[in-house]
Structure 1
Amino acid sequence: MERNKLAYFTAIENQGGVVVRETPKFDLDLYIQNYKGRTRWERLYHIGRTSVPLCVDALKAAVQEAKSGSDVMRYKYAVDSLRQVAPDEPEALLDQDWIDTKNKEIRNTTEHLQAELQGYKNNLIKESIRMGHEDLGKHYEAIGDLETAMDSYWKMRPDVSSADQLADIGKLLIRIAIERHDWKTVSNHLSKHVNAANDSDPKAKALRTYSKIANGIASLGQERYREAAFSFVWASADVPPSVYDKIASPNDVAIYGGLLALATMDRNELQTNLLDNDSFREFLQREPHIRRAITQFVNGRYAACIEILESYRPDYLLDIYLQKHVHKLYADIRTKSIVQYLKPFSCVRLETMQKAFNGPGPSIEDELFMMIREGKLNARIDSINKSILPISVDSRQKMQSATLERFGNYEKQALDRIRRMNIIAADLEVKGTGKTAAMNPIQGGMAVDDSAAVA
């Protein structure tokens, strides 16, 4: 089995995939219980193709998850991957009888639902037509035909009779778009269907939270990290997880929101929007290490914050939405930490920085050099004395420059007003059209274009 694993993950690495060899801190069974719907299989399959320690268990669970549904292709994918890793496992054998039975069942169900929908259309019953499209869309979604499912959900719109029904359609379309990782479509449907929700009503509050989480996932996918952070941070913990468990879990909200906030918010914003936010604190209770990391950063203990996050890096690399962004988010958090660490000092020895951020390992000097070169850190490195000298802004010079700039603007405005007064006193007409000056035959004066002279 070990030889099969080595060949399997070597092939994945050669294709540019991510391979995690460390054992994650979460329990696979408890982890997957937080999700419902098709995302369960997607997460299991992703872990099976990423985690060396969990690959067999995750792929076996993915096979069972696929067999409990109707997506034949997903079943084949899971069995094929498991056969490459552990060919002796019973689940690695393709169940052709199940495939044939399921394909026949799918054909019969499709024909029945299409005939039923046609009957509703012939009878012109709007509510039945809407429900017929919904049933057909859910059927296509279950078998993995997501494009046809989205088309069926979209056809429900002409037959809606209430705002709640329209919002439900929006949620269905958003869910499909998230599964397809079509982030722009998610954003479009959010603006059309969900943004009108009001938190005064429980249903509207649930819809608002679903909207926040969906927008957070879509913004994360588009690398709009700050927008994503605020979306997750302001999701309501009062809403039951069953509202959004087909796209994320409460633990995901805490992890996504915490990491994105650490990468994009300053210490005051972290304190206000996360630690002092009663609703988000409830999410953080599910992931106490994220709360500890945020608290350490706010309190100025940056190395401790980074150490906590590094210990959970393998877990985050196994997440379907977070994996592609872990490296950049961690790099941004580390850069922010170094910048904040240097702020109070006029000079810091590289040895001290090494102990604080790197420990025994590669020299931090090269990292600081790259930060300075990229404009992320305003400092100089003293290679002789092995120290780094932050370049502080001269407050007096900054104040004098701002004062001179304001005086220049005031002088320009005063001259413009004086010029305008002189033009009016000379019985000239002032125009702001930008056209060539012309004589005004009615007033007997000359029309002058003053658009360039008058502010």
Structure 2
Amino acid sequence: MTNHLLNFFTVIDNQGGIIVRDAPKFDLDLYIQNYRGRTRFDRLFLIGRSSVPLCVDALKAATAEAKRGRDTQRYREVVEHLRIAAPNEPEATFDQAWLESTESANRNETHRLTAELKGYKNNLIKESIRMGNEDLGKHLESIGDLNGAAESYSKMRPDVSTPKQIVDVGKHLVRVSLQRREWSMVSAHLSKMGGNQNSEDEKTLQPYIKIVSGIALMGQERFHEAAIAFLAADAEVAASHYNEVASPNDVAIYGGLLALASMDRRDLQTKVLDNSSFRTFLEREPHIRRAVTQFVNGRYSACIATLESHRPDYLLDIYLQKHIPKIYDEIRNKCIVQYLIPFSRVKLDTMQAAFGGPDKFVEDELFTMIKAGTLKASVNTIDKLVTTVSPNSRLKMQADALETARSYEKQAIDRLRRMSIAAADLEFKGQRRTGGMHGLGASVDMFDETTV
């Protein structure tokens, strides 16, 4: 690492950023081709600020991406980063002419669209007002004024008249809310889009709603609900309908990781591996399918090793990066708990070999899990043994037998009482239960035994 890069990542580290020193398994050029829209810059910029091996290439690509748009603030930010990381690169010098011309064009366009919208409002033409607000919102979004864009898109709602227009407004607002990381607003806008399209449009919109909903739920750390959303996405719809948010590879990774973190073995088999639609996504990321299969088959250390080998890739994802430590901890905890179930005692050395590493001691992890209540066990540090705390099976069997006997006795007494009442041809008044049945036998059944 050069001195410039060292200084750059020292600053990033001091700011609390995540630094990934290992090279990811993806090719940067092929990776970014899966996306369109403003997310391309966001992803390149994150990789440039996080990945040591890809830092310079990603920042240079982000600079080129910024110049293809009209957001001058983004351009300034990425060039400032590149000037620190690689000051000798040609892209590290501000293109002052481009900045001035772009900012001038942005001001003129904003003024023109605002004037047009004002004219539409004076003429009281609803369709023109809707389109004017949409054009202004798209322009403000493209120059980085997300607050203004959200306001313009929101003003479209009173003037929409068709289901397609309702969906378009929802997509605009969802896109802005995603960029602002307002997860609750994303869910709110998605809820207004449902049920406003015909059957054909609904099929193409379904994966968009499921994927965006999953991202919003993941942002709120509602991992199980997010996994359900990703697993329900229709794989037959072309990625062009949602690739300004995520790619099919992302869906496989998000769904697989969150399912591993939040589902038990049976659900992983039925909802992930046996899910014919989601299997199409998994084919793009075979290591995710392999990790899920390894967990289902009880090969927990292999599952963790598979995931660890791809951790650098996940730490460079704009939606996953923040949650990877928690997701991985939950998967590891599940693996350790499942590993210990068949045993009453396990040597710490065996546990260390299965789940530890050169700089990771499983003993400390076990203490943390026991303290949190995740693992019911005790650790003998002298004899180096892990002893699981299992319920007394004989006591549980006796308690179940007694409960079954009490239930049978109660049912028998109730039936004998009813038979005696019916045999004596007795009638009595009481509070009837809900039902429309008639006859002596039915009437007896419909009274509480407290009235007898």
Normalising by structure 1, we get a TM-score of: 0.87
Residues 295-321 of structure 1: per-residue CA shift (max 9 Å, x gap)? 111111011110010011111111111
Asked if residue 24 in structure 1 is aligned to residue 58 in structure 2, the reply is: no
Contact 2:164–2:196 (Cα < 8 Å) also in 1: no
Q: Choose the corresponding residue for 1:286, options 279, 284, 304.
A: 284
2:148 alignment counterpart: 148
Distance 1:76 1:360, change over 3 A: closer
2:442 alignment counterpart: none
1:48 alignment counterpart: 48
Paired residue type of 2:182: D
CA distance in 2, matches of 1:362, 1:93: 43
Q: Choose the corresponding residue for 1:303, options 297, 301, 304.
A: 301
Residues 48-71 of structure 1: per-residue CA shift (max 9 Å, x gap)? 111111111111111110100000
Paired residue type of 2:291: A
2:334 alignment counterpart: 336
Cα drift, residue 113 of structure 1: 1.2
Q: Choose the corresponding residue for 2:395, options 389, 394, 397.
A: 397
Q: Which moves more between the two structures, 324-333 or 378-387?
A: 378-387
CA distance in 2, matches of 1:139, 1:298: 49
Contact 1:197–1:207 (Cα < 8 Å) also in 2: no
2:182 alignment counterpart: 182
2:109 alignment counterpart: 109
1:76 alignment counterpart: 76
**What pairs with 1:360-375 in structure 2 (closer than 5 Å)?**
362-375=360-373
Cα drift, residue 404 of structure 1: 6.3
Cα drift, residue 22 of structure 1: 0.8
Residues 360-388 of structure 1: per-residue CA shift (max 9 Å, x gap)? 55542232222112211112223343222
Residues 345-404 of structure 1: per-residue CA shift (max 9 Å, x gap)? 222222222222225555422322221122111122233432222222234433554676
Contact 1:197–1:208 (Cα < 8 Å) also in 2: no
Aligned to 1:78, the other structure's residue is in SS state: helix
CA distance in 1, matches of 2:215, 2:98: 35
**What pairs with 1:270-285 in structure 2 (closer than 5 Å)?**
270-285=268-283
1:123 alignment counterpart: 123
Residues 6-38 of structure 1: per-residue CA shift (max 9 Å, x gap)? 011011111211111111111111111111111
CA distance in 2, matches of 1:162, 1:231: 27
Distance 1:137 1:403, change over 3 A: farther
Distance 1:405 1:13, change over 3 A: farther
1:238 alignment counterpart: 236
Residues 218-271 of structure 1: per-residue CA shift (max 9 Å, x gap)? 111111111111111111111111111111111111111111110000111011
Contact 2:166–2:196 (Cα < 8 Å) also in 1: no
Aligned to 1:24, the other structure's residue is in SS state: coil
CA distance in 2, matches of 1:65, 1:362: 40
**What pairs with 1:217-232 in structure 2 (closer than 5 Å)?**
217-232=215-230
Contact 2:163–2:196 (Cα < 8 Å) also in 1: no
Aligned to 2:386, the other structure's residue is in SS state: strand
CA distance in 2, matches of 1:365, 1:83: 45
Q: Which runs of 5+ in 1 are unaligned?
A: 419-428, 431-452
1:205 alignment counterpart: 203
CA distance in 1, matches of 2:200, 2:296: 34
CA distance in 1, matches of 2:161, 2:191: 20
Contact 1:150–1:173 (Cα < 8 Å) also in 2: yes
CA distance in 2, matches of 1:7, 1:341: 44
Paired residue type of 2:117: L
Aligned length: 421
Residues 95-115 of structure 1: per-residue CA shift (max 9 Å, x gap)? 111111011111111122122
CA distance in 2, matches of 1:74, 1:360: 41
CA distance in 1, matches of 2:373, 2:182: 33
Residues 187-207 of structure 1: per-residue CA shift (max 9 Å, x gap)? 11122223x368x82310222
Aligned to 1:49, the other structure's residue is in SS state: helix
CA distance in 2, matches of 1:143, 1:396: 70
Paired residue type of 2:217: S
CA distance in 1, matches of 2:216, 2:156: 24
2:164 alignment counterpart: 164
Distance 1:360 1:146, change over 3 A: closer
Contact 1:220–1:228 (Cα < 8 Å) also in 2: yes
CA distance in 1, matches of 2:82, 2:382: 57
Distance 1:161 1:16, change over 3 A: same
1:89 alignment counterpart: 89
2:422 alignment counterpart: none
Distance 1:361 1:118, change over 3 A: closer
Distance 1:92 1:381, change over 3 A: same
Aligned to 1:385, the other structure's residue is in SS state: coil
Contact 1:129–1:159 (Cα < 8 Å) also in 2: yes
Q: Which runs of 5+ in 2 are unaligned?
A: 418-429, 432-449
CA distance in 2, matches of 1:399, 1:201: 54
2:344 alignment counterpart: 346
Aligned to 1:393, the other structure's residue is in SS state: coil
